Amino acid sequence: MNKEDLFFVLFAQQQEFKKEEPTIPREATRKALDLLKLNLPLIITGVRRCGKSYLLKCFLFVDEIQEVSNWEKWVDRMKENHKMVITGSNSKLLSSEISSILTGRSLSLWLTPFNFREFLKAKNINLENWNVDSKKQSALRVSFKEYLEGGGFPKRVLTGQDVIIKELYEQILYRDVADRFGKKLTKPIKEISVHLLSNPSSLLSIRQMSTMINVKNLGTVKSILDAFEGSFVFFFVNKFDTSVKKQVQNPRKAYCIDTGFPIVLGFRMSEDKGKLLENIMAVELKRRGKEIFYYSDKNECDFVVRKGNAIVEAFQVCYTLNNESKEREIGGILAAMKRFNLKEGIILTYDQEEEIIVEKRKIKVIPAWKWLLSG
C-alpha cells in the first residue's frame, strides 16, 4: 500500500469516528482494559459492525491492519513503546490468522453484537430492581421479544432499520467469503448461505451439503464453511464424544452470530422462535467463555459445557414447555445429567419458570431473558 492510499484509509476512518452516533458502553471494555495492562498488543476480533472500532479510543488503535502488507513487523516495533489495539473482521485476512502471526506476543478478545443487557442500555431501559419489580419485568418481556426477532447489531438496534442487516450481510458474503474463492463457486456459496440462514440451530453434514449444492469435493465444501466461520457470522458446535475423531466425523450444529440475519434474510425463521431462542443461548454461552457441545444418544441435550476434562453444566432450550414437548425436553437433559453425573440442569424457555425434581436430580426451568440478565 502506497502513502496516498494509506492517507485515504486513515481519512475515511477519521470521518467514521466523527459521525455523531450514540455510543453504548460495552461490557467487554473492562476486560479489554485489564488485558492491556499486560503490555502486549490486543487483537479484537468479531463480525463486521459489531462495535470493534468503538470499543476503545484511548490507545494506539489500528483498524483492519491486514490491508497493509508486512504489518506485523511494524507492530513488533511499535508495541515496545505503545499500548496497541488491533482489530480485524476478515476482509482479506482471517482474524484467526492475525493471531497466529503474533502467537505468544499478543492477546485476543472476541467481540459480538450487543448482548441483552447492552441492548436494553441502547434502548434506555433502566434495569434497577428489575428482579423484584413486576412492571419492569413486563417491559423486559416485550424488549426480549424485540431482541429475539431483531438481534443486537448496534446500528440496527439504534435505528430499527432492517436494510442495515441486509447490506451488512452482503458485505460479509461477498468481501469476506466469496472473494476468497473463484467465481465458479459463487453460486454454491450463496446456496450454503441461504441454507445456514434458514436453518440456524440445526445439524449440518458436510456430505449432505455437498450433495445439496452439487460440489463433489468435500474439502471445498469444508473450506467454504470455514470461511463463513472465519468471518464470525456463523459458528459450529460439535457433538460431545470422548473420541476427538468421532467428534469431527459427526454432524455439527450451526449457529448464527446474530438472530437479525436469519430473521431478515432466512426463510420462515420468524415462525420458528424455538430455533432463534436456542441460537441466542449458543451465542451467549460462547460469549461467557464456555466450551460447548451438544449431547446426543437416544435423547438429545442442546448444550453441555466442558471445563477441563469434565462436563460441568447441561442446558436445554425450549420456547414453550407444554404437554407435547415436556417429556422430550426433560428426557434430553436428564439423559445428559445421568451421563455426566450432574445433580442440576437448566431448561431455558421464553417465559416459564419452575423447578422439577426427577430421580433426585434438580431441573430449573428459567425464562431465557432472566438468565441473560443474571450473567
DSSP of 266-321? SSSGGG-HHHHHHHHHHHHHHHTT-EEEEEESSSEEEEEEEETTEEEEEEEE-S--
Buried b / exposed e over 41-53, threshold 16 CB at 10 Å, is bbbbbbbbbbbbb
The amino acid at residue 93 is L
First to last CA, the chain: 44
Mean pLDDT lowest for which of 3-12, 73-82, 178-187, 334-343?
3-12
What CATH architecture is 285-374? 3-Layer(aba) Sandwich (3.40)
pLDDT band of residue 24 (cuts 50, 70, 90) is confident
> For the chain, how many residues are written?
375
**Burial status of residue 344 (CB atoms within 10 A of its CB: 0-12, 13-18, 19 or more):** exposed
Running DSSP on this structure, what letter comes out for residue 92? S
- In this prediction, residue 247 carries a pLDDT of 84
Reference 231, options 270, 288, 193; nearest CA is: 193
Cβ contacts of 359 within 8 Å, gap of 6 or more? 334, 338
CA distances from 212 to 68, 216, 275 (A): 38, 10, 22
Could you give the 3-state DSSP secondary structure of residue 344? strand
> Which sequence spans correspond to the domains of the chain?
3-111, 161-271, 285-374
Residue 128 predicted with pLDDT over 80: yes
pLDDT band of residue 93 (cuts 50, 70, 90) is very low
Q: For residue 236, what is the enclosing H or E element?
A: strand 234-237
CA distance 172 to 91: 8
DSSP for 205-221 reads: -HHHHHHHHT---HHHH
Mention the CATH class of domain 161-271: mainly alpha
pTM of the complete model:
0.86
pLDDT band of residue 91 (cuts 50, 70, 90) is very low
In tens, the pLDDT along 347-360 reads 999 999 999 999 99
